[in-house]
Amino acid sequence: MFSLSSPRAALFIRALLVFMIIPAAPKADALKVFDLKNGKTVYGTLKTVKAGHQQTLLDIARDYDLGYNQIVAANPGVDPWVPSEGASVIVPTVFVLPRGRLPSGIVINLAEMRLYYFESAGDGRSRFWTCPVGVGREGYSTELSIYTVFNKAEDPIWFVPPSVLEEDPELPPQVPPGPDNPLGKYILRFSRLSYGIHGTNRPWGVGRRVSHGCIRLYSEDIASLFPLVPVGTLVRIIYEPIKVGWAEGKCWLQVYQDYENKIDDPLATAFSGISACEEAIGPIKVDLKKIKKAVREQTGIPVPVARAERE
């Protein structure tokens, strides 16, 4: 039984206070950036850390610029609110680029709950930035489409939408800038549907389905992204729970939960992506057991499931 007087309960209550009421302090490890390289669609490294005293998985997630969904999926045997002190925690800072990426612009993969911003530099070099996001909750799923950033604002006023007022009539019609504003410090407004990419005063919602359709970022991530993105930037919203990429002669499979139940045959979808991988790196030798395991477990950790055949 879970007793309210137990040490476990005390830690759980502390976690709720930290993530639901008091915005955590910004972290330095935010908005990762990578140089794009030909023949490579997998970036980053997998890490393992030890949980500290009274440290939750959400603490660790924010330390490494991950969302709740990523840290929990990668650590299925670890209590997200009260992990054992010294417990090994996998930090999945490895990213397979989505198929629906743009040469230049923002791509948001709802299934992954992650944003990618691609930029083609004038000197021929290209790079991308990435960070976790919160997305539309059930009944308010963010619509898959292509948008543009038509407006940027610092210290935005939140004009409470009618749908939100219906749920909570005690809310004021508008909320001024400040700690009570759920838009945070910055917003990139979309061209339609009243969507936008913005900060949040509830960082525990990053990596969750919590919004009415907008895209929520940690305050440190939106602060870094805001000056990079010009008005007119394309924004593509996609849904790819199964991604396949290649790097260093290996084919990598990354599988997230298909929470919208859009994929009838996950294994067939995985093999379709692996076939595309073979077209990119040549003949490959496939590990069927690893493929089935990745599809079944859905940890979000990229797994090498095939390698280039040697002559």
Task: Give the residue-averaged pLDDT of 239-245.
Answer: 97
Other Cβ atoms less than 10 A from the Cβ of 202: the count is 17
- Residue 121: per-residue pLDDT: 75
| Count of other CB atoms within 10 angstroms of residue 253 | 26
Model confidence at 27, pLDDT cuts 50, 70, 90, reads low
Q: Rounded to whole angstroms, how far apart are CA atoms 167 and 111?
A: 26
The pairing of strands 114-120 and 105-109 is antiparallel
- Give me the half-sphere count of Cα atoms (radius 13 Å) on the Cβ side of residue 23: 21
More confident residue, 236 or 167: 236
Tens digit of each residue's pLDDT (9 = 90 or more) over 123-139: 778 999 999 999 998 88
105 vs 102, 129, 152, 223, CA distance in Å? 6, 10, 15, 17
Choose the catalytic residue: 53, 212, 214, 251.
214
pLDDT tens digits, one per residue of 45-94: 999 999 998 899 999 999 999 999 999 999 999 999 999 999 999 999 99
Whether 198 sits among the annotated catalytic residues: the reply is yes
pLDDT at residue number 18 = 42
Residue 205 CA, chain-centre distance (Å), reads 11
Per the CB < 8 A criterion, the answer to whether 132 and 114 are in contact is: yes
Would you call 53 a catalytic residue per the annotation? no
C-alpha to C-alpha distance for 97 and 112, rounded to whole angstroms: 11
By three-state DSSP, how is residue 231 classified?
coil
What average pLDDT does the chain have? Answer: 88
The 10 Å CB-count burial string (b at 16+, else e) for 141-176 is bbeeeebbbeebbeebebeeeeeeeeeeeeeeeebe
β-pair type (105-109, 242-247) = unpaired
The position carrying tokens 């137990």 is 6
SS3 64: coil
Q: Where are the domains of the chain?
A: 12-238, 242-308
Question: What pLDDT sits at residue 276?
Answer: 86
Q: How far is CA 230 from the centre of its chain?
A: 22
Helices 288-297/266-281 angle, 10° precision: 130
The DSSP line for 167-197 is H-TTS-SEE-SSTT-TT-SEEEEESSTT-EE
Neighbours of 192 (CB within 10 A): 11
Q: Pick the catalytic residue: 198, 212, 251, 277?
A: 198
Average pLDDT for 264-271: 96
pLDDT of 5 over the 50 cut = no
Residues in the chain: 311
CATH superfamily of 12-238: L,D-transpeptidase catalytic domain-like (2.40.440.10)
How many angstroms separate the CA atoms of 5 and 297, rounded? 35
Residue with tokens 């599809």: 295
Sign of the CA dihedral with 280 first, then 281, 287, and 291 last:
negative
Output 183 or 14, whichever has higher pLDDT.
183
Q: Please tell me the predicted confidence (pLDDT) of residue 157.
A: 92
